[in-house]
Amino acid sequence: MTHSLQRGRELHVRAGVPESRQDGSKEAPFATIQQAADIARPYDTVVVHDGIYRENVNPKRGGFRDDARITYTVAEGEHAVIKGSEIVEEWENVEGTVWHARIPNMVFGDFNPYDTALEGDWLEQPSNWKPSLGDVYLNGRSLYEAPDLDAVIRAERRETGPGPDWMEIPLTIPRADETIFQWYAKVEDNHTDIWANFHEFDPNRETVEINVRKECFYPQRTGIDYITVRGFEMAQAACPWAPPTGDQPGLIGPHWSRGWIIEGNDIHDAKCSAVSLGKEYSTGDNEAFRWDLKPGYQCQLETVFRARHIGWDKEHVGSHIVRNNTIHDCGQNGVVGHLGCVFSTIENNEIYNIGTKYEYFGHEIAGIKLHAAIDVQLRSNRIHDCTLGTWLDWQAQGTRVSSNVYYANVRDFMIEVTHGPCLFDNNVFASPYNFDNMAWGSAFVHNLFLGSTRKRDVRNRFTPYHLPHSTQILGTACVYGNDERFYQNIFAAPKVLPGNDTRDTSVYDGAPTSHEEFTRRVHDQGIGDLEIFETIPEAMYVDGNAYLNGTHPFDREEHSYSSSKDPRAAVVTDEDGSLWCELILDETIDVETTVIDTATLGAPRIVGEAYENPDGSPIVVDHDINGEPRNEHPVPGPFSTLQTGMNRIRLA
């Protein structure tokens, strides 16, 4: 086993090997990944072989630049699983289908999930009891925690219907009938008792696991840079609630570091968040909940300034890549991050079943939930069957959301209290509820909207904006709404859902159509400062859109296409798992269009930063969702070509 700065070492790991005389070579591999992580240095590759590794990998070192990283990878053609759980084998039947197991507390070490409450800022339900971070899994399936033993005994079948009464948005997607498998735990001084209703299953003949570790792959120290994690299955971690004001550990994450690559993994069954690109403890940890002195908004604002004081900048934090992963069946987030997600790329991931157990509710649940996503690129992700597909909250500046497909979600997207520039291009939003827009300064170019939307201004929260492509804070502002661009999209929603405003751009009717008109109308009111700016709607830039199914254009849109015909548009999945968009056109969409670029889009008034790439180069939206080139007069929507009649276009 040789070491050089050019090649590094291969450190091998194989589950179940004898513990004597291990040196990490292929002939004498380590038994745990942690053994390799304790000695791995820049340029080294840790090769993990078949097996289940029940451990939390805590890397002691990282690399020092992109081409001098430490790589953790699964051996070619093999399957390695990192689990935050342990098997429980000795169950005693106590009543009917209810069983009991006693676990010595030494199994948990200094962290017992069953003695740790699920709590924190903006976590609201259930309000009459507190769940724990624990979980019980039957043959890999997460069961439901019960508030008491009586609930376990009487666990029954849940019928198809709406979600819990405390859900923020009524559930619009039917759920299948399911039998409720519940458990309850009680922690004593030396042991933890768990009761579970397994119904027709005998737990001594099945695989029953309980989560015992907070994470699966997560450095305990910050500043562990340039690590690649590739090809693993990772599951069943007891990670806590991860609001933007809290420490944000996930099942896997860089923990306030720089330059990680997380790729090609199957990540699932995090109690809260799967992949965390988030903040750390010293900038604040649930202070609104813990101290009850200030609202969460004020605490969050303080975390941003605290982060600047400790070196929140591109040289120290962020620039991660999360790609080609399958992320599913998590309670809070597929990907979460506040501050630590800056300058990152999240691409080609499939994310589903996030927040759909409805065990708890808070205002931080989404397939992807990011705060301060400065220059973050979200592209070519497939996000479905989530309570909320993606939520960009605060400081989505220089952010680009491109070529993603959203479908079968309760809501597809939400953007909140951010000031732009944020560009949405070539996306398909196919759920009945597409968008919550509680921001301003966004641009929407060549998207397909098949659902209704809600628009709100937010005038009681001032949030930061930054110098271009930087974490340096330039100012703060509330959200007046508008100052947005809608170019060459297709709108085709069949109806406006209850609680939504519209299914098209008519919600902007009456707005100015240029910065010059806006400022003239402001100053026509006479002498004043802030108060005269607050009374006039911001300008809107809308042109070249197609309105199908009876949707309506912005009343000052110069070029548009309208049709009352229903295109019966939908996203469908074939038996082989391929994803397609189908829509029927009764005639060619005929509207004057042009290739949209940075020059066309301009810049939001408050921030003054152009819609451009993170390196400052211009953006040209001249390719479609599948990378096909557009001509000089492109058709609206995310596809380079559309024909009369049936269109069936592959998405993934």
How does DSSP assign 195-233, residue by residue? EEE-TT--TTTS-EEEE--S-SB--SSS----EEEES-E
Which H helix or E strand runs over 416?
Answer: strand 411-416
| CATH fold of the domain at 86-211 | Immunoglobulin-like (2.60.40)
Q: How many CA atoms lie within 13 A of 317 on its CB side?
A: 24
At 179, the pLDDT band (50, 70, 90 cuts) reads confident
- What does the pLDDT read at residue 173? 41
Distances (CA, A) of 576 to 252, 351, 572: 30, 18, 12
- What does the pLDDT read at residue 574? 94
DSSP 8-class letter at 307:
H
β-bridge mates for residue 70, sequence order: 227
At 177, the pLDDT band (50, 70, 90 cuts) reads low
pLDDT in tens, 183-232: 999 999 999 999 999 999 999 999 999 999 999 999 999 999 999 999 99
At 164, the pLDDT band (50, 70, 90 cuts) reads low
- What does the pLDDT read at residue 2? 44
Mean pLDDT of 229-248: 98
pLDDT at 155 over 90: no
Tokens 């479905």, located at residue: 384
Mean pLDDT of 117-122: 97
pLDDT at 494 over 60: yes
At 6, the pLDDT band (50, 70, 90 cuts) reads low
Q: Token pair of 43, please?
A: 């340029």
The single-letter code of the amino acid at 153 is I
3-state secondary structure 536-564: CCCCEEEECEEECCCCCCCCCCCCEEECC
Q: Token pair of 417, please?
A: 């209290």
* Residues above pLDDT 90, as percent of the chain: 92
Mean pLDDT of the chain, nearest integer: 94
pLDDT in tens, 440-461: 999 999 999 999 999 999 999 9
Question: Where exactly are the structural domains of the chain?
Answer: 10-82, 86-211, 227-650
- 419, 465 Cβ separation under 8 angstroms: yes
- What does the pLDDT read at residue 178? 63
Cα 298 from Cα 255, distance rounded (Å): 23
pLDDT at 280 over 50: yes
pLDDT in tens, 79-105: 999 999 999 999 999 999 999 999 999
- What does the pLDDT read at residue 624? 98
At 324, the pLDDT band (50, 70, 90 cuts) reads very high
**pTM to 2 decimal places:** 0.96
Residue 389 contacts by C-beta under 8 Å, 6 or more apart in sequence? 351, 366, 367, 368, 383, 406, 409, 411, 412, 413, 431
Count other C-beta atoms under 10 Å from residue 543's C-beta.
22
Mean pLDDT of 432-447: 97
- What does the pLDDT read at residue 34? 98
- 270, 288 Cβ separation under 8 angstroms: no
CATH class of 227-650: mainly beta
Q: Give the residue among 624, 547, 543, 529 at the shortest CA–CA distance from 589.
A: 547
CATH 3.30.1910 assigned to domain 10-82? The reply is: yes
3-state secondary structure 418-475: CCCCEEEECCEECCCEEEEEECCCEEEECCEECCEEEECCEEEEEEEEECCCCCCEEE
At 34 the three-state DSSP class reads helix
- What does the pLDDT read at residue 170? 45
pLDDT at 592 over 90: yes
